[in-house]
Chains A and B, each alone.
Chain A
Amino acid sequence: MTRFSRFFLGVISAAALAACGAPAASAPTSAPAATSAVTAAPAETTAPAAEATAPAASGEPFKVAIVMPSSTTDLAWSQSMYDALVAVQQEMGGESAMQISVSENMFNVTDAAAALRDYASAGNDLVIAHGTQYGTSLFDLAKEFPETSFAWGTATDTGADKGLANIFAYNAKAEEGGYVNGVLAASLSKAGKIGVIGPVEAGDAKTYIDGFEKGVKDTKPDATVAKIYTGGFGDTAKAAEAATTQIAAGADVLTGSAQQVVGAIGVAKDKGIPWFGTQSDQSSLAPSLVVATQVYDWKAVVKDMIAKIHAGTLGGTAYNLELKDGGLKIVYNSGFTLPAEAKAAADKAIAGLTDGSIKPLP
């Protein structure tokens, strides 16, 4: 049996690797680590931990592994974290300072658990489980690998009550950016009809949409927010049709979430309807119609985790992306001309959310 399968796998792998010209080269993280170049460590300062981005004193690169449920190019949840890792890698001085290993499209939780275990065994300094559904296996794993640092999100539980000290949790307060987008959308809408295209009524899609709706209502109490859920995350065709339906029903501003929205943005672009995004910057798809995107910027979180690990703390912090600390950013698209009063209303909302005077959830 093994001879048989080896024969096939050999043939296929050889053919595939030959055909694609060593696809490994296309993965940005596959090059073997160069263990020579040691960038000079900056002098010890009392600056925030984010400064401590030099490789460990040993000269070994800092090794990060991440397991994610969708692909690194989904313009949504997975990409938000992947982009942050790559950005931090650039800041630290490239692959010689930090190595990233990725397992993408791991929607099968059992496989994800195996991947996390493997990465922990392989001596990664930080293993990131980028999906709440991976949590159950992560806690078992953290017990077994007390020397390894783990992170998971979206979550708020670091396992401290279970006696675990090597888990970071991270969470995005999607309702905050949702609220700001809602304020902007209400200001832009002439018809007072705003459309939402959601995946499934759960997780951060739900909190984003709840916040969005409250932002609209607080700005224009008589405006209506119509919501369509497609029932999945990646069905672009259905998301496009949902957007068309919203527009036909009179919506003159749209927003939506999950990787399916690229379909909806295409429709918004065709019909000239302003779009509000979340998770990753989607301006590239409709340069003149994406008004603003709530961007999850995990960079500070990643840097802080790395700094803490260097300092010997392997977990215990629960991070929350908020507007307050810049983890959530409202990125305005320069290609869309926003009326001054809308911008002012949004700034006021950001200020209110930051000082706590505005509650983004109903």
Chain B
Amino acid sequence: MAYGAMLRGAFGSLPGLAQTLAKATPLLLVALGIIIAFRAKVTNIGGEGQLIAGAMAATAFALALPTWPGWLLLPLTALVGALAGGLWALVPGLLKARLAVNEILTTVMMNAIAVQLMNFLLRGPMLDPAQVAAGTNIPQSAALPEQVWLARLIPRTLLHAGFFLAVALAALVAVLLWRTTLGYRIRAVGLSPAASRYAGIPVERVTALAMVLSGAFCGLAGAVEVMGIHHRVVEGITGNYGFNGIVAALFGGLHPLGAIPASVLFGALLVGADQMQRSVQVPAALITMLNGLVVLMVVSSALWRQRRAARRQSAVAAPSPAPAASAEPLPPT
């Protein structure tokens, strides 16, 4: 009963649940960024690179000002992370808006560039002085000053205050997209650039801005991951959240509120899978494959849901909730 271990691992205990939520935090932040971009018909595959940019910039900033008080330094550090992620996304955003260069290509390339830049910084300018002194040269930065560490919510787990920040931001993104002019413009551009242009919306600017906002959320995810979990930049800081966040966003039906349960569910899937590897001692490769199959099954099942939803109601104004985030069981096929 391997999958029993999987579910128990993800939800069955307080530490397991805490781990699931800790993993859901960066997934959700990245997913929010992806949603903003997708709503403007911008495909942001660059979450990994933007996350690295955010993590590196936030770390450099906090390390430069170790004496500042926490109430000031903590929010500023998070902000710097978001800004850096936004800047990293500005390049693909501008290229798409100005020169119609496809963003899938540029964001994939920007990911590779970010990884190499991180390698470069982590073996010179930002390498932990302790590593230099010990002569071990392990690529990681010095530890952040303690006043920017995010509070751990449950002692002896990794769950930190960043989770609530992410949930609050999800609500904020929902407001942004459906209650503000900018949000209206983003969605309009996504639905029909030509009609938007006709209506006087500055399509190029909105496109670039959607990409930058998207990058800012991914950058924030990087900063939060550093401030909440590692307290420094380490190898493998992205943990594939830049890609997995896309999956979470799509699971959540590209809706910010749908992304909350979707991130938790997908986080649980990943946590449970690791748990399964430990309890049944199967190779990691099998878990990877199972995750892939679960993703394929979940997206495939969207069809039946859509059909059923279409039978129930036509002309949906708001986007339908996520296939995975809605709680009804599948019809046994």
Contact = CB atoms under 8 A, between A and B. Distances in A.
Given A9-B3, A114-B274, A108 B239 contact: yes
Given A1-B327, A16-B290, A107 B236 contact: yes
A232 B119 CA distance: 9
B3 A200 contact: no
B196 interface: no
Interface residues of B, number: 69
B11 A110 contact: no
Nearest to A5: B265
B134 A2 contact: no
Interface string B7-48: 100010001000100110000000000000000000000000
B270 interface: yes
B115 to A, nearest CB: 7
A137 B228 CA distance: 12
A184 B83 CA distance: 51
B234 interface: yes
Given A109-B234, A133-B234, A156-B136, A13 B158 contact: no
A103 interface: yes
A113 interface: yes
Interface in B131-161: 134-140, 143, 156-158
B177 interface: no
A206 B143 CA distance: 22
Contacts of A7: 329-330
Contacts of B277: 103
Interface string B245-274: 000000000000000010001001111101
A202 B278 contact: no
Contact of A154 (B136, B235, B285): B136
A9 B137 contact: no
Given A108-B240, A118-B275, A13 B281 contact: no
A202 B283 CA distance: 28
Interface stretch (B101-109, B181-189, B206-214, B292-300): B292-300
A25 B5 CA distance: 17
B284 A104 contact: yes
Interface string A58-102: 000000000001010000000000000000000000000000011
Interface string A117-141: 1110110000000001100110000
Contact-residue bracket for chain A: 35 or more
A231 interface: yes
A111 B239 contact: yes
A16 to B, nearest CB: 6
A248 interface: no
Contacts of B23: 110-111
B284 A12 contact: no
Contact of A4 (B22, B240, B293, B329): B329
B140 A133 contact: yes
A116 to B, nearest CB: 10
A155 interface: yes
Contact of A109 (B115, B156, B239, B288): B239
Interface stretch (A26-34, A188-196, A292-300): A26-34
A13 B139 contact: no
Contact of A200 (B139, B231, B278, B290): B139
Given A108-B239, A109-B229, A23 B283 contact: yes
Given A101-B281, A109-B234, A111-B274, A133 B134 contact: no
Interface in A260-293: none
B325 interface: yes
B158 A137 contact: yes
A136 B51 CA distance: 20
A144 interface: yes
B136 A136 contact: no
A360 to B, nearest CB: 11
Contacts of B261: 1
Contacts of B136: 132, 154-156, 171, 203-204, 207
Nearest to A107: B236
Contacts of A71: 283-285
Contacts of A107: 235-236, 239
Given A6-B3, A111-B239, A203-B139, A30 B281 contact: yes
B299 to A, nearest CB: 12
B231 A117 contact: no
A9 B294 contact: yes
Contacts of B137: 202-203, 206-207
Contacts of B272: 9
Contacts of B330: 4, 7
Nearest to A173: B135
B282 interface: yes
Nearest to B266: A5
A154 B138 contact: yes
Given A10-B3, A27-B282, A202 B138 contact: yes
B315 interface: no
A8 B294 contact: yes
A121 B275 CA distance: 13
A171 B136 CA distance: 9
A330 interface: no
B293 A12 contact: yes
A115 interface: yes
A113 to B, nearest CB: 6
Interface in B191-225: 225
A43 to B, nearest CB: 35
Most chain A beta-carbon contacts within 10 A, residue among B7, B157, B282: B282
17 contacts: A4-B327, A4-B329, A8-B298, A30-B280, A107-B239, A109-B236, A113-B158, A118-B15, A122-B278, A133-B138, A154-B136, A154-B138, A156-B136, A200-B139, A202-B122, A202-B137, A361-B135
Given A200-B119, A202-B122, 9 more contacts: A5-B268, A5-B324, A8-B294, A16-B293, A26-B283, A71-B284, A111-B274, A114-B271, A202-B137
